[in-house]
Amino acid sequence: MVQKAFGCTSTKKRLRHVAKVVKRIISPSQLSDHQVTHYSIPALSSTGAPVIESGTNIDSSKFIVTGGELLVAKINPHRGHLALVKETSGLTVCSSEFVPLDILSGNRRFFWYVMQSSAVRQQLISIGQSSTRSHMRVRPHDILSLEVPAPSESTQTAIADFLDRKTAAIDELIEKKQKLLALLAEKRAALINQAVTKGLDPKVPMKDSGIPWIRSIPAHWKTARIANVTKKVTNGFVGPTRGLFVDHGIPYLQSLHIKNNRIIFDSHYFVTPEWSSSKKKSILSACDVLVVQTGDIGQVAVVPPEFEGANCHALIILTPNLNDCHGEFLSWVLNSTFGFHSLKSVQTGALHPHLNCTHVREIRVPLPPKREQDDITRKLNHESQSIFEVGRSIRKQTALLAEYRQALITAAVTGQLDIGGAA
């Protein structure tokens, strides 16, 4: 196949004609005496970079990489887990979940961009060996069979140089947007913590709270154990879910739906009314407070009216005693910096953080009069919504920049863009 690109004619080739798989295996025992630069899928997902760690922390065999290799993830290729290995003075390894490719001919940076292009990502998705999109795998042989553009090396270098400049500028803009989001998150956290621990009147007399992470509270406030301001503290359903879900029915809330005092039901899970009725303990009422029990400790949300009657999985359910405490206020308390630290302080398990109801019941919380709880809740709902709207706008802008970056890379490496006119 031939295409016109940048004033020259270039062909497409199978990746195996320009690259080979590198398999220099090293065992955990050989790593124990080294400080290692480690490329792993979790590290790339979290920071986009490798981690530097002691070899004693690594308990499985790895591939040695020396710099310049392209790392292509074998699992879930549609998520774009790719890396171009940087040269370091020490030992560098990568997870066996990557296919390390050594570029035999051509510009490494060009092929790094080629592997990021939509055209190649679509090929990776189409050859994924799985029945579900969330658990795809590709084989090294299939990766080497990918069809990639292969213009002259001088054109490759020109494209790579162009994309280096353009993507660096886009990445700088994205980084600025991400910093704005971080500042918004800090503003939100400070607003919540101030309101639920100090109230809305800055002139009110204060007293010692006797609660860790809160030095003082308004003198007319009380403090109480969660057990004393709730009618029920229980668990959502914790049994197996295989064969449980149906296309339509009763919404089934899980930890993935709880974020920043909101229930975001964008991943739809439903159970039958009959099954839900048989699990009455975990049927939700409006104003219940849901606390993530395992994993992302610190995520809490109040149940809004539209999820009245829903059921839930592996969440701690707090049903407030409305004579003493409103659910929305309790949820805001647990969403504060104070609430986060309180929940973290009673979690168990380092590898799989977990909360149990007994410990959560004992957490002490500030308790203003009910009218003041309402005032604080209204204030936080209003201010938080404003912050959310600003954040949503910034996230949309960031997403558009990422889409533009992707489109630019694809257009450049496939010859659809005149570099001379765009530079």
Q: What is the pLDDT of residues 69-106, one digit of tens each?
A: 999 998 887 677 899 999 888 899 999 999 999 999 99
Which comes out higher in pLDDT, residue 3 or 46? 46
CA 382 – CA 385 distance, rounded (Å): 5
Helix (H) or strand (E) holding 251: strand 250-253
Give the domains, in start order, of the chain with CATH numbers.
Answer: 12-150 (3.90.220.20), 222-367 (3.90.220.20)
Max Cα–Cα distance, the chain, nearest Å: 80
Whole-number pLDDT of residue 423: 40
Backbone φ and ψ for 127, nearest 5 degrees, come out as: -100, 0
Q: How confident is the model at residue 333 (pLDDT cuts 50, 70, 90)?
A: very high
Pairing of strands 270-271, 250-253: antiparallel
Transcribe 197-216 into DSSP letters: HH-S-TTS-EEEEEETTEEE
Whole-number pLDDT of residue 347: 95
Tokens, residue 345:
């302080």
CA 39 – CA 81 distance, rounded (Å): 11
Shortest CA distance to 257 belongs to which of 309, 310, 305? 310
Whole-number pLDDT of residue 13: 92
Q: Residue 5: pLDDT above 70?
A: no
Q: Which residue has the tokens 């590709």?
A: 138
The pLDDT tens digits for 240-287 are 998 999 999 999 999 999 999 999 999 999 999 999 999 999 999 999
Q: Which residue has the tokens 């004693």?
A: 56
The answer for residues whose C-beta is within 8 angstroms of residue 167's C-beta and 6 or more apart is: 405, 408, 409
3-state secondary structure of 324: coil
Shortest CA distance to 346 belongs to which of 235, 212, 214? 212
Shortest CA distance to 317 belongs to which of 250, 258, 235, 238? 235
CA 324 – CA 197 distance, rounded (Å): 17
Shortest CA distance to 289 belongs to which of 269, 268, 307? 307
Q: Which residue has the tokens 């790593």?
A: 31
Tokens, residue 147:
């069809």
How many angstroms from the chain centroid is the CA of residue 263? 16
Whole-number pLDDT of residue 422: 42
Pairing of strands 35-39, 91-94: parallel
pTM for the full predicted model: 0.80
Give the pLDDT mean for 185-193: 96
Transcribe 97-131 into DSSP letters: TEEEEEE-SS-HHHHHHHHHSHHHHHHHHHT--SS
CA 45 – CA 10 distance, rounded (Å): 34
Tokens, residue 281:
């303990």
The pLDDT tens digits for 6-19 are 334 358 899 999 99
Q: Please tell me what DSSP assigns to residue 295.
A: S
